[in-house]
């Protein structure tokens, strides 16, 4: 079973839409969770960490369900600039340890 | 904002040749990493490095790979005898020890093995 699995997408939504991405992870020892964003042929960039109580950063809301080993990302009021691939990432143990990436979900926001 | 820088941005090499990918991590960072991403696939961990030694490596990081911090600023990844399947984007990353600090990725080196 893959360490991190995501909706493959692609998602194509109009500007202003709300879109949700899901992710599951296989290792219950995972302790830290993140959403990264990756533009075409560029490096991954941290979008937000995901906390057990859920957290919000502007238009972005992340949720974590440890019992189900499930992570989600909700984007409200989508902008053209949100078009990218969204990577679900988990980390076991130390915050200095290796990251396990999902394959990513591609989002295209159209005008 | 300080950046992790990688050179070259694109490297083309023939199968069997040695390549060295170079990275300059952020200056006060102490932990360094190499990840790679084959086109269309996920980002995969290769190796982490701290205090002049490897702290963790993945199953991908076999005897053909090595890392070095030859001086106080550079962090290199060497592939001794490249194979076609080594073609990928290679990302260097670094992190400070401060709690909650994020991992900073470089902009990558695209390696093409022909």
Mutate to test the interface with B, among A5, A26, A96 (most CBs of B within 10 A): A96
SS3 per-residue string spanning B28-90: CCCEEEEEEECCCCCEEEEEEEECCEEEEECCCCCCCEEEECCCCCCEEEEECCCCHHHCEEE
With CB atoms and an 8 Å threshold, state whether A46 touches B103: yes
Report d(CA B27, CA B83) in Å as an integer: 33
B9-24 confidence digits (pLDDT tens): 999 999 999 999 999 9
pLDDT category at A48 given cuts 50, 70, 90 is very high
Report d(CA B88, CA B109) in Å as an integer: 8
Report d(CA A100, CA A1) in Å as an integer: 13
% of chain A at pLDDT higher than 90: 82
Report d(CA A53, CA A62) in Å as an integer: 9
Report d(CA A97, CA A26) in Å as an integer: 17
Q: Above 90 in pLDDT, residue B102?
A: no
Angle at A89 between CA B106 and CA B67, to 5 degrees: 40
Chain B residues interacting with chain A (CB cutoff of 8 angstroms):
31, 33, 35, 41-45, 48, 50, 55-56, 58, 89, 91, 95, 97, 99-100, 102-103, 105-108, 110
Structure tokens, A15:
């500007």
Mutate to test the interface with A, among B5, B30, B43 (most CBs of A within 10 A): B43
pLDDT category at B73 given cuts 50, 70, 90 is confident
User: Closest partner residue to A44 among B43, B95, B97, by Cβ?
Assistant: B43
Nearest to B113 by CA among B45, B42, B36, B57: B36
**Cβ atoms of B19 and B111 closer than 8 Å:** yes
pLDDT category at A93 given cuts 50, 70, 90 is confident
Largest pairwise CA distance in chain A: 42
**Cβ atoms of B99 and B47 closer than 8 Å:** no
% of chain B at pLDDT higher than 90: 82
Q: Above 90 in pLDDT, residue A16?
A: yes
- At A1 the pLDDT is 75
- At A96 the pLDDT is 84
């Amino acid at each position: 079973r893959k360490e991190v699995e995501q909706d493959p997408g692609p998602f194509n939504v109009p500007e202003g839409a709300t879109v949700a991405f899901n992710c599951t992870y296989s290792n219950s020892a995972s302790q830290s969770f993140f959403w990264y964003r990756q533009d075409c042929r560029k490096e991954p960039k941290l979008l937000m960490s995901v906390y057990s109580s859920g957290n919000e950063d502007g238009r972005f809301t992340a949720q974590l369900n440890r019992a189900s080993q499930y992570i989600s990302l909700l984007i409200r009021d989508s902008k053209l600039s949100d078009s990218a691939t969204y990577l679900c990432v988990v980390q076991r143990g130390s915050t200095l340890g290796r990251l396990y990436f999902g394959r990513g979900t591609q989002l295209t926001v159209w005008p | 904002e300080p950046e992790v820088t990688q050179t070259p941005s694109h490297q083309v090499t023939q199968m069997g040749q040695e390549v060295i990918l170079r990275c300059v991590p952020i200056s006060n960072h102490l932990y360094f990493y190499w990840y790679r991403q084959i086109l269309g696939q996920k980002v995969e961990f290769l190796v982490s490095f701290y205090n002049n030694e490897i702290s963790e490596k993945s199953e991908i990081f076999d005897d053909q790979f090595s890392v070095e911090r030859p001086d106080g600023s550079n962090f290199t990844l060497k592939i001794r005898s490249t194979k076609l399947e080594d073609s990928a984007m290679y990302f260097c990353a670094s992190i400070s020890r401060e709690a909650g600090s994020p991992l900073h990725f470089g902009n990558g080196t695209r390696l093409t093995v022909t």
